[in-house]
């Protein structure tokens, strides 16, 4: 039953136990999930796919998942759900390490754009979309794929071939990118932006021949951009900005075509940036030195002006204030200067 992208509102409806796929996404359903999930007691539902994303659902996720044992795909993103994951799914605080094995029938978890938190277990290998939450920890080494590509949102059905993207952006993840990521040769995009990830970008990233989108911006990656980036001929979106990357941007027909903002906030050189590289592929020291020295010269210029004015002012005025004989001599000097000036002026008579 596919009823997505309409204007249905109110509470979620009760459904038949025979329905296996239900899409109510992009509607105006509001309130919570309790009536939908919890009214039927001791009934076994055959629902395998439930898509409720892009509604106005609120409140906590209820503790009523015992009757939905056949669920494989659950999509709850872009709602206003709050609180912790319910005990009937055995989610308490963070995601438990046994989650991937216990819920082996679940193929996809989509919890995007909610307020979930906790640490990601390394045993979690299902397809995930966890972007825009506050999960912490390192990226699981066995994780598979996620479901967002360059900001576009797929319509979900049973064709899991569409799940060729990985999105864990806007969380509090740390650590490095697992090398196993480069073995996902069918991955078309991944987005780890806006985290606290560190380490180097994997050298074998060029093995992912069908990559179309990479976003690693606003992290703390360091080192050089791997030379294998040059072989990513299908790449159409790249954002490596605001990291600690350094060295020369690899030469390829793709990388030099991106906007310079894709590389800003690093210590990179070479096209498309206007910073030239030295013979060893790094930024010439004098370019940074000149910029820093110019800044220092400007700062010290104003500082020295202020100090000089203060010393001159108090050197003259202070001595006149504290030394009476100097003060009288100074005023007599001014009087003589005034008399001499008047003597030089021509005398005009008005007759």
pLDDT tier at 227, thresholds 50, 70, 90: very high
- Can you tell me the distance from the alpha carbon of 198 to that of 59, in angstroms, rounded to the nearest whole number? 36
HSE-up (13 A, CA, CB side) for residue 190: 22
- Can you tell me the distance from the alpha carbon of 178 to that of 270, in angstroms, rounded to the nearest whole number? 28
What pLDDT score does 333 carry? 74
Nearest Cα neighbor of 16 from 56, 45, 39 is: 45
What pLDDT score does 242 carry? 96
What pLDDT score does 214 carry? 93
What pLDDT score does 149 carry? 47
What pLDDT score does 290 carry? 52
What pLDDT score does 102 carry? 57
What pLDDT score does 306 carry? 73
Quickly list H helices, 31-149.
34-38, 99-102
pLDDT over 70, % of the chain: 66
Q: At what angle do helices 324-344 and 285-322 cross, to 10 degrees?
A: 100
Average pLDDT, the chain: 76
Per-residue pLDDT averaged across 198-212, rounded?
91
Per-residue pLDDT averaged across 140-162, rounded?
50
Rounded to 5 degrees, φ, ψ at 106 are: -75, 125
Q: Over 80: is that where the pLDDT of 215 sits?
A: yes
Rounded to 5 degrees, φ, ψ at 165 are: -130, 155
Window from 7-21, 152-166, 180-194, 335-349 with minimum mean pLDDT:
152-166
Quickly list H helices, the chain.
34-38, 99-102, 285-322, 324-344
Per-residue pLDDT averaged across 246-270, rounded?
90
pLDDT tier at 221, thresholds 50, 70, 90: very high
Specify the DSSP class assigned to residue 96: P
HSE-up (13 A, CA, CB side) for residue 337: 6
- Can you tell me the distance from the alpha carbon of 90 to that of 133, in angstroms, rounded to the nearest whole number? 19
Could you give the 3-state DSSP secondary structure of residue 330?
helix
Per-residue pLDDT averaged across 141-154, rounded?
51
Model pTM above 0.75: no
Per-residue pLDDT averaged across 297-314, rounded?
65
pLDDT digits (tens, 9 = 90+) for 155-189: 444 444 446 778 889 989 999 998 878 887 778 88
Q: Over 70: is that where the pLDDT of 252 sits?
A: yes
- Can you tell me the distance from the alpha carbon of 303 to that of 155, in angstroms, rounded to the nearest whole number? 61
pLDDT digits (tens, 9 = 90+) for 67-105: 787 887 888 888 888 876 665 667 434 555 655 665 555
- What topology does CATH give the domain 9-284? 3.80.10
Q: How far apart are the first and last CA of the chain?
A: 113
- Can you tell me the distance from the alpha carbon of 244 to that of 219, in angstroms, rounded to the nearest whole number? 8
**Going by DSSP bridges, is the β-strand pair 108-110/73-75 parallel, antiparallel, or unpaired?**
parallel
pLDDT over 90, % of the chain: 22
Q: Over 70: is that where the pLDDT of 124 sits?
A: no
What pLDDT score does 114 carry? 64
Q: Over 60: is that where the pLDDT of 350 sits?
A: no
pLDDT tier at 192, thresholds 50, 70, 90: very high
**Going by DSSP bridges, is the β-strand pair 127-129/196-197 parallel, antiparallel, or unpaired?**
unpaired
- Can you tell me the distance from the alpha carbon of 297 to that of 289, in angstroms, rounded to the nearest whole number? 12
What pLDDT score does 118 carry? 73
pLDDT digits (tens, 9 = 90+) for 285-301: 655 555 444 444 445 66
């Amino acid at each position: 039953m596919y009823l997505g992208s309409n204007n249905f509102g109110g509470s979620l409806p009760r459904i038949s136990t025979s329905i296996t796929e239900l899409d109510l996404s992009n509607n105006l359903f509001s309130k919570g999930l309790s009536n939908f999930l919890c009214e039927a007691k001791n009934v076994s539902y055959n629902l395998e796919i439930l898509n409720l994303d892009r509604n106005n659902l609120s409140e906590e996720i209820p503790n009523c998942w015992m009757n939905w044992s056949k669920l494989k795909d659950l999509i709850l993103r872009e709602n206003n759900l709050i609180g912790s994951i319910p005990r009937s799914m055995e989610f308490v605080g963070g995601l438990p390490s046994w989650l991937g094995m216990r819920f082996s029938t679940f193929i996809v978890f989509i919890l995007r754009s909610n307020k979930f938190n906790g640490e990601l277990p390394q045993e979690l290998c299902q397809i995930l979309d966890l972007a825009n939450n506050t999960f912490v920890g390192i990226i699981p080494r066995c994780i598979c794929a996620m479901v967002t590509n360059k900001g576009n949102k797929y319509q979900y059905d049973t064709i899991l071939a569409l799940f060729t993207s990985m999105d864990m952006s806007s969380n509090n993840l740390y650590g490095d990118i697992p090398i196993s990521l480069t073995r996902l040769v069918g991955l078309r995009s991944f987005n780890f932006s806006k985290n606290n990830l560190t380490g180097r970008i994997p050298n074998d990233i060029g093995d992912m021949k069908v990559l179309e989108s990479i976003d690693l911006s606003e992290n703390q990656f360091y080192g050089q951009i791997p030379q294998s980036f040059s072989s990513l001929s299908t790449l159409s979106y790249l954002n490596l900005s605001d990291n600690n990357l350094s060295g020369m941007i690899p030469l390829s027909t793709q990388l030099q075509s991106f906007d310079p903002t894709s590389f800003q906030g690093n210590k990179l050189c070479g096209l498309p940036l206007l910073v030239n590289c030295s013979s060893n592929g790094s930024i010439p020291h004098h370019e940074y030195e000149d910029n820093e020295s110019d800044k220092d010269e400007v700062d010290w210029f104003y500082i020295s002006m202020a100090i000089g004015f203060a010393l001159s002012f108090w050197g003259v005025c202070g001595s006149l204030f504290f030394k009476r004989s100097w003060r009288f001599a100074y005023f007599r000097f001014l009087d003589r200067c005034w008399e001499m000036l008047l003597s030089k002026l021509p005398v005009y008579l008005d007759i």
